[in-house]
Structure 1
Amino acid sequence: MTEAYFIPKSYSNSLEKGTVSCQSPSNIALVKYWGKYGEQLPQNASVSFTLSACRTKTLLHFEKKEDASTFNFEVYLDGKRETGFEPKILKFFERVENYLPFLKAYSFKIETSNSFPHSSGIASSASGMSALAVCLVQLENALIDGNLLTEFEGAERKSLQKASFLARLGSGSAARSIEGPLVVWGKHPKIEGSSNLFGTKFLGEVHKNFSNYQDTILLVDKGEKQVSSTVGHDLMHNHPYAAERFKEANSNLSKLIDIFKSGDISAFIKIVESEALQLHAMMMASQPYFILMKPNTLEIINRIWQYRNETNSNVCFTLDAGANVHVLYPEAEKKQVQKFIVDGLATFCKNGEYIHDSVGLGAKII
């Protein structure tokens, strides 16, 4: 399959105006992607848990306009015009216009809200861009056959693939938010159907140990990141350790395939924590180098290790490109681990804030 697969042949319907809406979650990568090539293509395959509570809701208003020579849109976050987001949306529209040729024919008002702080390492771009992508696929389906999608879970495979394909062109990790609970993005020799163009639901055998896995996000720093993920990815070009890192990530994903099947949580922990630390090690070894972890990030990690050693718990951590800590644990340990979080970790969060979450199933039309 190539990019040409997602170029529509024609539209048989015309809509004057209307609205479409979507709710899409963030995701947390277990094997990280860090480094890309071409147009938002990953240097290595990754796999993630789709989340549930951490999500973006997007309402897309559209109205036909006479002048179809330019893009016309406004972005609102929590009811307020957010012009700071509009350059990113413009770049997204420019990237996807070939696959959504109706974009210049409409004026858009994009209303969006997050259930969590944006630009702080909880992959708000993943949930935001995937939600917008689903809205645009809804609109396109109406232009093709006159019917708006009413459900996205269980939608036709091409619609799911196109939403992930489009989302990727806005934010790479957004490709993994369309479905759940486990999604692979990036071509991997041991995963049939995997692709660099879009995320695919992991269809391998998954042990019950990983069912309804829990993720509590500790909000160490709710401010905007000092270095954006886009800049960080670009620094992987000519990085002295990049080639070995890409090989290691693909190797770790191969190991996880077997771990998901066997239910070996101890082996799962080793890979997930190693992947998180390797991600930040690549940042620290970049030129210019940078550190996104904060002192409280390290304090939390050490306390998780201490707690695990003392209790034989299966709790572990992972990180995205930011200071916040994702605390991962099996549902069977939910009560004990959440007590540990309240008693032992919340004090290291900004204003004591954290979000209890669990794995989810992906985007929903609302």
Structure 2
Amino acid sequence: MTDYTLDSRGDVGAWVREAAMTSLMEVTLCVVGTAPQLLSPDLVNGMMCSLAQQSAEKIDRYRAHAGSVFVRLLHSNNPAVPHIPHREELLAIFPTEGAESLNWNAPSQAFPHITQLLRLPQYQYHTLLGLTVSVGGLTESTVRFSSQSLFDHLMLIQQDPAALGQFSDALLRVFRHNLRNDRVSIPFLKMLDQMLARACFDTFTTDQDHQFCVVLLSLCKEEIKKSKDTRKLRSAIAVFCGLIQFQGEVRKKVLFQLLLLLCHRFPVIRKTTASQVYEMLLTYDDVIDPDVMDDVMTSLSDTNWEEDVATVRTHRNQLCDWLGVQKPQLVAKGPVQ
């Protein structure tokens, strides 16, 4: 169920995942009736978590198949599949009497149910991994309903520091485990941008150099290092602008990254950065000294950031002085051997 092979036809790995889910269900139901001792807790846990991930992903057909397999194994009682984590909680989310009426193909029905698995520690990571590609995807209905369900969950845990901390840890693990894996990392950045824009981690922003922001910034830097993918870079710029709401030295580091991008080799990235930083400073007016605010905003808006790098570097360095951020240093290239 981890085959995400792509070719000119698209996600051909989905055929393998679908066949794997079907086989998994048939073999499990066979084994549970003949040799249930083979179904160890670790095996069943991995199986159900993988199905939960597939049940939260973006392609309707395969999400529906995964959801139906997940519910079929959960409701199997002749005999029951042993060692299913959080069985009672799952039965409350997917009651037997409502199983057939749930349309997994419809994002409006599927996501409000599957996001409830985020409350269950065993399923949280895999459900969030599946949701990442849905929330950060392209299909409007999938994005809308998956996002709404995710943010509804985040609203519920805002006043629960332990739950929010657990969620943020899972979020960082998803990012860390999928660095440079564009299938996940680009949607992740888009999802993260939405979370930051909605102040989902507002309770963290009052702490100086909160570890969540520090680690997130480090992972974002690693993700875009030497990247030429403009989609990824644009998404990262939006995330950096969202991270500015955090307090402490990390704010200076975020500003440094944004100022670095003002001299990126791609003119479109320089222009995008300037535009987003301008909007960021309008939103978070405590970032810079009011005495230089007008100068900074004028420079960002009036400079032609699509000119050659040598020209825009002068403007960028002036911004560094106004913002009190260290100027990025040019790295000297070694002699050609």
Q: Same fold (TM over 0.5)?
A: no
With the length of structure 1 as denominator, give the TM-score of the two structures.
Answer: 0.26
Larger Rg: 2
Greater RCO, CA 8 A, separation 6+: 1
Point out the structure with the larger strand share. 1
With the length of structure 2 as denominator, give the TM-score of the two structures.
Answer: 0.27
